[in-house]
Structure 1
Amino acid sequence: MSGTIQITEAALASLIGLTAHEIPGVVGMAPANLKEGISRVLGRANASDGVVIGKDSGKFTADLYIVVAYGVSIPRVAENIVERVNHVVKAQAGIELAAARVHAVGVQRA
């Protein structure tokens, strides 16, 4: 049997968002844009919140907007996210990201 498998940007964003939530020091994801912020205010949060998928030279990129716990090393949390996201996306979706960028947009007591 032959065919193709297509992984949508929405599915990829959900996979990345769920992966980021597993990293110690991540309190949550922040709205990446106004539309997402309005959806969250209206109570429609998704696993993909805080993740923006783009393309660079034909490969996917991911920008993650996170809120970290007060007292953690933000660079270490960001490195852990990038490493884990790259691994999970490759292992579970068969995709190599051109870039995974972490934007720490807030700090909160856990």
Structure 2
Amino acid sequence: MSGSIQITEGALASLIGLTAHEIPGVVGMAPANLKEGLYRVLGRANASEGVVIGKEGGRFTADLYVVAAYGVSIPTVARNITERVEHVVKNQAGIELAATRVHAVGVQRA
């Protein structure tokens, strides 16, 4: 007996957003649909709004819009987000992302 499991883009975005929230140096996610400079920090319940799921070559991609904590190394935080998100998505959803892009859209004191 074999079957298949379908994971929706919304479920994938939630998994990715919640994972990013756990990374030290991340204050929160920012809505992906707001213009630069006009952002609000999203709480865990709305974390998926800061993630845009796309497709490249038949595989999922993820763009994350994050607000970093003041004083942290943004490149280090972005690398940690990328590594953790790709690991969690592969292990919990069975999906290898084609690309993971982190956009630091703001800096705020934690």
TM-score, normalisation: structure 2: 0.88
- Partner in structure 1 of residue 84 of structure 2: 84
Using the size of structure 1 for normalisation, the TM-score is 0.88
Structure 1 gap segments, 5+ residues each: 35-39
Structure 1 stretches of at least 4 aligned residues deviating more than 3 Å after TM superposition: none
Q: Counterpart amino acid of 1:26?
A: V
| Unpaired segments ≥5 residues, structure 2 | 35-39
Pairwise CA distance, 1:3: 1.6
Alignment of structure 1 residues 20-39 onto 2, 5 Å: 20-34=20-34
Shifted more, 25-34 versus 62-71: the winner is 25-34
Mapping for residues 25-64 of structure 1, pairs under 5 Å: 25-34=25-34, 46-64=46-64
Partner SS, residue 95 of structure 1: coil
Q: Which amino acid aligns with 1:57?
A: G
Matched positions, count: 101
Secondary structure in structure 2 of the residue aligned to 1:55: strand
Deviations 1:51-84 (A, max 9, x none): 0000000000000000000000000000000000
Partner of 2:106: 106
Aligned mates of 2:104, 2:74 — CA distance in 1: 7
User: 1:95 — aligned with what?
Assistant: 95
